[in-house]
């Protein structure tokens, strides 16, 4: 992610985030509220678990036949009058978008929500080439004004309090100083964006679902900003990761029901817009982006992470995400799903992320497409260690542990020594060097282990 | 029935009373219980840190120790789950496969195998039940809030058989406590914060005791309670079921 030049490890960023405990509490509660909304609405649908199973199976089918569906989609989209582009990686994606804009002499563009363009660092790339990009999703616009990356894939500015947004708007949009009423601020943003919409000739949107059988694509928003941008512009560019394909239109009946309920606890997104062919006098482009996805597809243990529909439910439920904030994951896609996607892109840079979890498994069980997220976190840990990205100190201590635990005699001695130390020289462990001790007391050390008790209290059969 | 007692290393060393309660409880229900003396650990601390490959010798030792019993019972959901999912050695394929199906966490053994309907236990306190994630989402000891599925709780049903015990309702009945093995030190800040939040939920609802089917979660929560000089204490579920 181009926003973060020097990557700070998750644990260190999280420690900084936790310096302001009141803020952590606020962040945790805000996201937990969304998790509860999701619970309520999903529990009110009898066939919820069945829907998850359908969605999972449809996506499995997609991943097994991805190349065919992509070609089918391409052929149908071309028939519909859409220009189709293929990008192998982020650089090619950015170059394609740039080329289309240049062809039309366009130097200002509106963009609705697209995690893919965040992944590719499109904004920075275009800005460096003298093209102004205005994010029209309110949350995206807020982080854009703050010159920060989004911290959540569905709620990009969830880390910002309304007072901070008020301050930002005062500075950039001239709202009243100290005003933080969400309605007032939203109205101000709308006004500002309306002018932008009217003067921009190009609009970029993301894609939630692309239907192979019809060559259409669906964009889900709550603000209608994707439609507004696309309908007013001469050129509509839609960018999508190649895994966003679904086979048939009827499958939308599964995914649209799952997406908004999982994301925000709404029955459906306010706008689910279907784009099939350009309007007269308009050009419509679609950019299909690989950027590591086909490599990911080849990794059997990890491929089904590509089923993700980017609902964000795994983030809202993640107890670690809620208490460390999206930026601590140093990638466009944060949280549990980010932690299983990003090691595929850059294992060294993202080696910390699969360890930023307790493997509690909540993510796996809220995921509407049933990705085995926590099992993949476990598997990534094994791969990362095997590939040599574990810290040396950890390697050494693990070797010792493996040795101690494989020998009953040494284990007995080590246990005795540890208990003796805790009882007689507690200062050896109760100090600043022991992270446990910072906010927790060590357990009391009994004189006798269970094994010792057992030997004296039960007849030994061996 | 021949039951082998599998006592996780940290219970053996730091919480022997939990192992004793487990042993006595199983004996009360007529099990012939043995404790294989050469046991050490399930290998989870290494495997969860990404060093599964270093746990081979530990796994072999486990298979040596626990072959030939009808059941293997452990007062830890987490260690039980680890054995069920990750006990693999190069040599003992047949034996290890059997062990993976024979290993039970204590409360699921009491409910599913022994089909316990009544208990003689007495524990006149307000108790908060902490669901350990591995026990709950891994072994399905109780239903999780994430799923749209009928609620049940094996440890909860046992606690309801205890005379005088009052279970408190929590705001977040199954949020992780933040222990997470080595996570508790590698991600110290988040781990401690998660623990503090979990403790607060129980304390707000006036629990005298926090109980769980996993001592590792409780060790972490105890560390926080003691630092806060809280009046709320921790107790393993085996100790409650064996009380009175
Ligand atoms: S992994 Fe699942 S829960 Fe997480 S964003 Fe993707 S679809 Fe949603």
Residue at which a domain ends, from A294, A320, A344:
A294
CATH of the domain at A261: 3.40.50.10420
Q: Is position A331 within any domain?
A: no
Kindly state the average pLDDT of the residues A114-141.
94
* Mean pLDDT taken over chain B: 93
Of B224, B235, B216, B226, residue with least CA distance to B195: B224
> Hey, are the CB atoms on B13 and A419 less than 8 Å from each other?
yes
For residue B184, give the nearest of A17, A385, A436 by CB distance.
A436
Q: Is residue A326 part of a domain?
A: no
Distance A366 CA to ligand 1 centre (A): 8
Contacts B145 to A, Cβ<8 Å: 39
Residue A262 included in any domain: yes
Could you give the CA distance from residue A27 to residue A128 in angstroms, rounded to a whole number? 33
**Residue B77's closest CA among B111, B116, B49, B103?**
B103
pLDDT of residue A2: 39
Closest residue by CA, ligand 1 atom 8: A311
Provide the token pair at A180. 């933080």
Strand order in the sheet with A132-135: A83-87, A283-289, A235-241, A202-205, A108-111, A132-135
Which residue, among A194, A213, A202, has the nearest Cα to A104 in the 3D structure? A202
Taking an 8 Å cut-off on Cβ atoms, the answer to whether A451 and B11 are in contact is no
Q: Is A375 exposed, middle or buried (0-12, 13-18, 19+ CB in 10 A)?
A: middle
Taking residues A431-454, report their average pLDDT.
85
Classify domain B126-241 at the CATH topology level: Rossmann fold (3.40.50)
| Confidence band for A82, pLDDT divided at 50, 70 and 90 | very high
- pLDDT, residue A440, reads 87
SS3 for A218?
Answer: strand
Distances (CA, A) of A209 to A243, A275, B128: 9, 11, 44
Distances B137 to A307, A363, B78 between C-alpha atoms, Å:
22, 11, 10
| Domain region containing A456 | 402-461
CA-nearest residue for atom 6, ligand 1, is A308
pTM of the model: 0.94
Does ligand 1 have an atom closer than 6 angstroms to the CB of A311? yes
pLDDT value for A332: 92
Quick one: A279 and A414 in the same domain? no
pLDDT digits (tens, 9 = 90+) for A202-238: 999 999 999 999 999 999 998 888 888 888 899 999 9
Q: How many CA atoms within 13 Å lie on the side-chain side of A359?
A: 26
Residue A378 has pLDDT above 70, yes or no: yes
Residue A438 domain-assigned? yes
- The answer, yes or no, to whether any atom of ligand 1 lies below 6 A from the CB of A377, is no
pLDDT at A392 over 70: no
Q: What is the mean pLDDT of residues A234-252?
A: 97
For ligand 1, what atom is nearest to the CA of residue A337? 1
At A393 the pLDDT is 62
> Using one digit for the tens of pLDDT, what is the confidence trace for A400-436?
777 777 777 777 777 777 777 777 777 767 777 788 8
Residue where the block lists tokens 């990205």: A389
CB contact under 8 A, B146 and A366: yes
Task: Determine whether the shortest distance from the Cβ of A51 to ligand 1 is under 6 A.
Answer: no
Question: Distance from CA of residue A414 to its chain's centroid?
Answer: 42
Say what percent of chain B tops pLDDT 70: 100
Number of domains in chain A: 2
Residues ≥6 apart with Cβ < 8 Å to A296: A302, A303, A305, A306, A341, A344
Can you give the three-state secondary structure of A407-462, one letter per residue? CHHHHHHHHHHHHHHHHHCHHHCCCCCCHHHHHCCCCCCCCCCHHHHHHHHCCCCC
* Co-location of A420 and A275 in the same domain: no
CA of residue B188 relative to chain centroid, distance: 22
Among chain B residues, the shortest Cα distance to A461 is held by B34
Q: What is the strand order of the sheet B166-167 is part of? A: B166-167, B126-130, B209-212, B233-236
As a whole number, the mean pLDDT across chain A is 92
Report CA(B50)–ligand 1 centroid distance (Å). Answer: 24
Widest CA span in chain B = 51
Q: In 10 A of CB A457, how many CB atoms? A: 10
Predicted confidence at residue B169, as pLDDT, reads 97
Instruction: Tell whether A194 is covered by a domain.
Output: yes
With contact defined as beta carbons under 8 Å apart, do A284 and A273 qualify?
no
Cβ neighbours of residue A118 closer than 8 Å, sequence gap 6 or more: A1, A149, A150, A332
Q: How far out from the chain centre does Cα B143 lie?
A: 16
A51 has a pLDDT exceeding 90: yes
Nearest CB partner across the interface for A18, out of B37, B149, B193: B193
Same domain, A290 and A406: no
CA B45 to chain A, closest CA, distance in angstroms equals: 9
Q: Residue A198: what pLDDT?
A: 77
pLDDT at A1: 37
Beta-sheet strands, E only, within B191-241: 209-212, 233-236
DSSP string, A241-290: EGGGEES-GGGHHHHHHHHHHHHHS-SS-SEEEEE-SPPTT-EEEEEEE-
- What are the residue ranges in chain B where pLDDT is below 50? none
Of A324, A361, A390, the CB nearest to B138: A361
Whether A427 is covered by a domain: the verdict is: yes
- Please tell me the predicted confidence (pLDDT) of residue A232: 85
User: End of a domain among A259, A294, A329?
Assistant: A294
Residue of B nearest to A378 (CA): B48
- Interface TM-score (ipTM) > 0.85: yes
In ligand 1, the atom with minimum distance to the C-alpha of A340 is 1
Residue that is last in its domain, among A294, A315, A339:
A294
Q: Write out the residue limits of the CATH 3.40.50 domain(s) in chain B.
A: 126-241
- Per residue in B97-146, pLDDT (tens digit) is 888 899 999 999 999 999 999 999 999 999 999 999 999 999 999 999 99
Residues A162-182, mean pLDDT to the nearest whole number: 94
Question: What is the rounded distance in angstroms from the CA atom of residue B236 to the CA atom of residue B217?
Answer: 10
Between the CA of A35 and the centroid of ligand 1 the distance, in Å, is 13
Largest Cα–Cα distance of chain A, in whole Å?
91
Contact at CB, B133 and A360, closer than 8 angstroms: yes
Contact criterion met (CB < 8 Å) for B192 and A440: yes
Ligand 1 centroid–CA A211 distance in Å is 20
Q: According to the model, what pLDDT value does residue A397 have?
A: 72
A93 in any annotated domain:
yes
Q: How far is CA B159 from CA B31, B120, B121, B175, in A?
A: 21, 11, 9, 20
The band of A4, judged by pLDDT with boundaries at 50, 70 and 90, is very low
User: In this predicted structure, which of A70-79, A144-153, A282-291, A453-462 has the lowest mean pLDDT?
Assistant: A453-462
Instruction: Assess whether the C-beta atom of A258 lies below 6 angstroms from ligand 1.
Output: no
* pLDDT exceeds 60 at position A358: yes
């Amino acid at each position: 992610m181009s926003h973060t030049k020097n990557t700070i490890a998750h644990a260190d960023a999280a420690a900084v985030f936790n310096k302001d405990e009141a803020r952590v509490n606020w962040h945790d509660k805000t996201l937990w509220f969304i998790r509860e909304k999701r619970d309520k609405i999903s529990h009110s649908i009898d066939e919820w678990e069945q829907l998850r199973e359908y969605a999972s199976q449809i996506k499995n089918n997609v991943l097994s036949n991805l190349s065919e569906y992509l070609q089918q989609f391409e052929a149908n989209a071309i028939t519909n009058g859409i220009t189709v582009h293929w990008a192998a990686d982020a650089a090619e994606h950015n170059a394609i978008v740039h080329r289309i804009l240049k062809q039309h002499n366009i130097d200002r563009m509106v963009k609705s929500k697209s995690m893919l363009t965040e992944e590719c660092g499109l904004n920075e790339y275009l800005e460096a080439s003298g093209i102004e990009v205005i994010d029209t999703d309110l949350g995206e616009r807020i982080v854009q004004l703050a010159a920060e990356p989004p911290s959540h894939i569905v709620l990009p500015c969830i880390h910002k309090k309304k007072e901070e947004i008020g301050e930002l708007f005062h500075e950039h949009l001239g709202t009243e100083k100290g005003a933080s009423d969400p309605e007032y601020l939203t109205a101000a943003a709308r006004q500002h964006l309306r002018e932008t919409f009217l003067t921009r000739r190009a609009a970029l949107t993301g894609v939630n679902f692309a239907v192979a059988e019809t060559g259409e694509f669906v964009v889900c928003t709550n603000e209608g900003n994707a439609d507004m941008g696309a309908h007013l512009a001469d050129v509509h560019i839609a960018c999508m990761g190649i895994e966003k394909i679904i086979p048939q239109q009827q499958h939308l009946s599964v995914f649209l029901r799952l997406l908004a309920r999982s994301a925000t606890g709404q029955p459906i997104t306010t706008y689910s817009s279907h784009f099939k062919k350009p309007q007269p006098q308009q050009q419509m482009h679609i950019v299909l982006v690989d950027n590591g996805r086909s490599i990911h597809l080849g990794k059997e243990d990890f491929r089904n992470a590509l089923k993700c529909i980017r609902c964000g439910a795994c983030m809202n439920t993640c107890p670690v995400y809620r208490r460390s904030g999206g930026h601590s994951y140093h990638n466009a896609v944060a949280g549990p799903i980010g932690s299983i996607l990003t090691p595929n892109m850059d294992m060294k840079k993202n080696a910390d992320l699969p360890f930023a979890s307790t493997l509690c498994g909540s993510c796996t069980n809220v995921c509407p497409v049933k990705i085995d997220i926590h099992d993949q976190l476990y598997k990534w840990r094994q791969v990362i260690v095997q590939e040599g990205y574990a810290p040396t100190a950890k390697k050494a201590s693990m070797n010792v542990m493996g040795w101690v635990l494989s020998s009953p005699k040494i284990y007995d001695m080590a246990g005795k020594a540890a208990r003796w130390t805790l009882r007689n020289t507690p200062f050896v462990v109760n100090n600043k060097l022991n992270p446990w001790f910072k906010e927790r007391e060590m357990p009391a050390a009994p004189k006798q282990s269970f094994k010792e008790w057992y030997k004296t209290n039960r007849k030994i059969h061996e | 029935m021949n039951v082998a007692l599998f006592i996780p290393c940290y219970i053996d060393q730091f919480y022997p009373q939990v192992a004793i309660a487990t042993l006595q409880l199983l004996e009360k229900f007529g099990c012939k219980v043995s404790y294989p003396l050469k046991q050490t650990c399930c290998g989870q601390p290494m495997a969860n840190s990404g060093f599964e490959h270093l746990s081979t010798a530990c796994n072999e030792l486990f298979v040596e120790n626990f072959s030939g019993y009808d059941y293997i019972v452990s007062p830890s959901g987490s260690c039980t789950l680890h054995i069920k999912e990750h006990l693999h050695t190069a040599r003992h394929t047949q034996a290890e496969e059997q062990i993976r199906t024979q290993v039970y966490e204590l409360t699921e053994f009491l409910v599913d195998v022994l089909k316990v309907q009544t208990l003689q236990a007495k524990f006149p306190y307000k108790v908060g039940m902490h669901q350990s994630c591995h026990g709950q989402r891994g072994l399905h000891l109780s239903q999780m809030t994430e799923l749209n599925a009928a609620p049940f709780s094996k440890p909860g049903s046992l606690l309801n058989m205890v005379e005088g015990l009052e279970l408190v309702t929590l705001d977040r009945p199954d949020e992780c406590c933040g222990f997470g093995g080595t996570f508790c030190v590698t991600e110290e800040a988040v781990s401690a914060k998660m623990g503090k939040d979990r403790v607060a939920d129980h304390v707000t609802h006036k629990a005298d005791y926090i109980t769980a089917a996993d001592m590792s979660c409780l060790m972490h929560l105890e560390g926080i309670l003691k630092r806060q000089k809280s009046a709320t204490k921790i107790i393993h579920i085996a100790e409650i079921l064996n009380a009175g």
